[in-house]
Amino acid sequence: MGLGVTYKVLASHLTGGKLEAGCSIDVKIDQTLTQDATGTMAYLQFESLGLDHIRNELAVSYVDHNTVQVGFENADDHCYLQSVAASKGIVYSRPGNGICHQVHLERFGIPGKTLIGSDSHTPTGGGIGMIAIGAGGLDVALAMAGVPFSIICPKVIEIRLTGKLRSFCSAKDVILTVLQHFGVKGNVNTVFEYTGPGVKSLSIPERATICNMGAECGVTTSVFPSDEITREFLKSNGREGDYKALSADSDAKYDGLFEIDLSKVVPMAACPHSPGNVKKVSEIAGLKVNQVAIGSCTNSSYADLYIVGAILDGKTISEHVSLGIAPGSRDVLRKITSDGTMLKMLDSGARILESACGFCIGNHFSPKSNGVSLRTNNRNFEGRSGTKDAQVYLVSPQTAAVSALTGVITDPTTLGLPEIHVPQQKASKYDDKMFIFPKSDGKDVEIVRGPNIGEPPKCTKLEDEIRSVVTLKVGDKITTDHIMPAGARLKYRSNIKKYSQYVFEPVDPEFSKRAAENRDKGIGNIIVAGQSYGQGSSREHAAICPMYLGVKAVMALSIERIHQANLCNFGILPLTFSDEKDYEKLNQGDELVIENAIEQVKSGKDITVKNITGGYDIQMKLHVSALQRQMLICGGRLNLIREAL
Ligand code: MIC
Ligand code: SF4
């Protein structure tokens, strides 16, 4: 039987397990990436492994999230990251060089290689034919140490593309069509593999946009074949030598099929407050817009911004719209500066924002109270923009740009605008000035630790009797932004004690105090949750900080892949209800006990949780690998590794 691209790359990197959907597999990781907000903790954990040097092919440390630098914290983080990179053989991408996924695609992405990154949008690399997966910082630290990455072997859904996009319809509209079909839950341990004659009509940045937002469906990753378009992209960045053709065998078998005729795709929008709440732009057209933000790792390539410049050319934005544009990388910024696109933007009234995550993570450019914000990024969770009651719509750069001009949500295909042709890029060597490549063996480098750089917290071993209370009961689709808010709190990422004060702040600002009081009295905390708990970011802080507050278990209807792995890495039991009715029966404040916890976790059978308050037992599933059971018993992955050393 033939193989698709996913299984070809996995097979060539398999170090353990059977390549069969549902089995645990271990995969050799060629490249790693981190960004600053997850990177400090990842490198502190890497340091604690005691290795002098990375052991994978390439590790890159990007600084793109915390670039606002109000106060000393972010700058301290950058110094630590730069020095630890120099000391351990890691490439450092300085602040200003751009957003990790965009820059990695341009400068380091190689078809057929594996990449894990401590950021959920790492699958962007699938656009260039990589198997690129988002993971927690500890998993990335271990991959840098040469430890294979353990995952559940995914099933692969074929997304077959035919036809060609019409003018003013875009890759964003394709992935929003995918999201409308698959939704944001229930797609764990799945890969979306794109095939069909429509693939060749899409550029690499377009493919990358599609792979980037597959993360919103909760899939392990998404991938495109590597073809002549890939070769041209690599050539334009002076890296034709990195090209390798990669395509599915003609008799490749998949676990499902979804077909999209690109010529029928229309402008789409993800409406508040979920990337899965997708409608046609024509259905919401006419709604007054207060703010438009163009950029993020999803839609900030040269082609995206060239099109925006062409739409804005010679026109002025509506007087009640504030338009912000953040180029995805310094390379894109240089290109739009030299070809005149930037001037078109400025003359229309746009504000040019830093080449960083910025508005996407609520770090600046928050909308006004109750404002309508149109954004080209990938997440519109409630409050993520920094304004709790803002209404954020996710759209293509084309829809964003025309709406900034008209002042209302506008379908860009309805204006009779002339077609825009993005000029072919001349081949040129990438400008590496803002990378710092490791110079020596690093032994002489002093690692700089300012006051913002803490210690990775210590986890305690699993207790045999877990006495806890339900400290919080929440509903469906609790995102990591609910658990560990970013925005104004992002600067505390390197200081677990401080950051822990904000656990669940958007849901229940008193949670952290309540949980810490229980912990100090020797009572454990349990979170009860609905479907898709922990969706969104890869931030392991959504496990580390609850662990620090004494959270012992999450009891949910379902838990998302990266978050579930992070919970295991930090010794929190990720339990799912055997009988969904038990979720309804449980109340906040109920006292729960798990007896013989160690034996129960070892056994692989359902876990019995006694509800002392309600006077009944609940059966919970613990769907984890054998390795994860060991981690849970030892009190987390680092303890397990230390025991093995
Ligand atoms: C995000 O888009 O939510 C982030 C911020 O990039 C996160 C990483 C983080 O929380 O630091 C992600 O996507 O993993
Ligand atoms: Fe940055 Fe936003 Fe992309 Fe996350 S989704 S990496 S915050 S641009």
Q: Is the CB of 37 under 6 A from ligand 1?
A: yes
Of 376, 348, 353, 377, nearest to 364 by C-alpha is 353
Q: Residue whose CA is closest, atom 10 of ligand 1? A: 539
Q: Whose CA is nearest to atom 2 of ligand 1?
A: 537
Identify the H or E element spanning 643: helix 637-644
**Alpha carbon distances (Å) from 31 to 34, 58, 129, 130, 145:** 10, 5, 14, 10, 11
Residue 530, helix vs strand vs coil:
coil
- Measured in Å, residue 194 CA sits from the centre of ligand 1 at 25
Q: Whose CA is nearest to atom 12 of ligand 1?
A: 537
Q: How far, in Å, is the centroid of ligand 2 from the Cα of 639? A: 31
Given a cut of 70, the residues of the chain with pLDDT beneath it are 644-645
- The residue whose CB lies within 8 Å of the most ligand 2 atoms, and thus the one to mutate among 35, 120, 121, 380, is 121
> For strand 91-93 and strand 435-436, is the pairing parallel, antiparallel, or unpaired?
antiparallel
- Which residue owns the Cα nearest ligand 1 atom 3? 537
361 CA closest ligand 2 atom index: 7
The residue whose CB lies within 8 Å of the most ligand 2 atoms, and thus the one to mutate among 35, 65, 105, is 65
Task: Pick the residue whose CA is nearest to atom 3 on ligand 2.
Answer: 297
Q: Write the residue with the smallest CA distance to atom 7 of ligand 1.
A: 537
| Ligand nearest, relative to CA of residue 353 | 2
Query: Two tokens at 265?
Result: 């795709």
Give the model's pLDDT for residue 1. 81
Task: Report which bound ligand comes closest to the CA of 542.
Answer: 1
What is the dihedral sign for C-alpha 631, 635, 638, 639?
Answer: negative
Q: Among 609, 590, 612, which Cα is nearest to 600's?
A: 609
**Predicted pLDDT at 645:** 59
Ligand 2: residues with CB < 6 A are: 65, 99, 119, 121, 296-297, 357, 360-361, 377-378
State the pLDDT at residue 454: 83
Tell me how far the alpha carbon of residue 58 lies from the centroid of ligand 1, in angstroms.
Answer: 21
pLDDT score at 440: 79
Q: Are 307 and 422 within 8 A, CB to CB?
A: yes
| The ligand 1 atom nearest the CA atom of 37 | 11
Contacts of 168 (CB under 8 A, 6+ apart): 267, 398, 412, 413, 417
Buried b (16+ CB within 10 A) or exposed e, 360-375: bbbbbbbbeeebbbbb
> Distance between CA atoms of 539 and 546, rounded to whole angstroms?
12
Contacts of 395 (CB under 8 A, 6+ apart): 172, 267, 268, 269, 270, 281, 374, 375, 376, 403, 409
Residue 109 backbone phi and psi in degrees, to 5: -60, 135
Q: Whose CA is nearest to atom 6 of ligand 1?
A: 119
Q: What was the pLDDT predicted at 468? A: 98
Ligand 1 pocket test, pick from 118, 300, 361 with the greatest ligand atom count within 8 Å of Cβ, gives: 361
Q: What is the distance in A from the centroid of ligand 2 to the CA of 297?
A: 6
d(CA 31, ligand 1 centre) in Å: 19
Residue 104 carries which side chain, given as an amino acid letter? Answer: H
Phi, psi values for residue 364, rounded to 5°: -165, 180
- Ligand closest to 213 (CA) is 2
For the entire predicted model, the pTM comes to: 0.97
* Residue with CA nearest ligand 2 atom 2: 360
Q: Which atom of ligand 1 is nearest to the CA of 134?
A: 14
State in Å: Cα 358 to ligand 2 middle: 8
Give the containing element (helix H, strand E) for 435.
strand 435-436
Q: What pLDDT is attached to residue 154?
A: 98
Q: Does the beta carbon of 33 sit less than 6 angstroms from any atom of ligand 1?
A: no
Q: Decide: 526 in ligand 1 pocket, CB within 6 A.
A: no
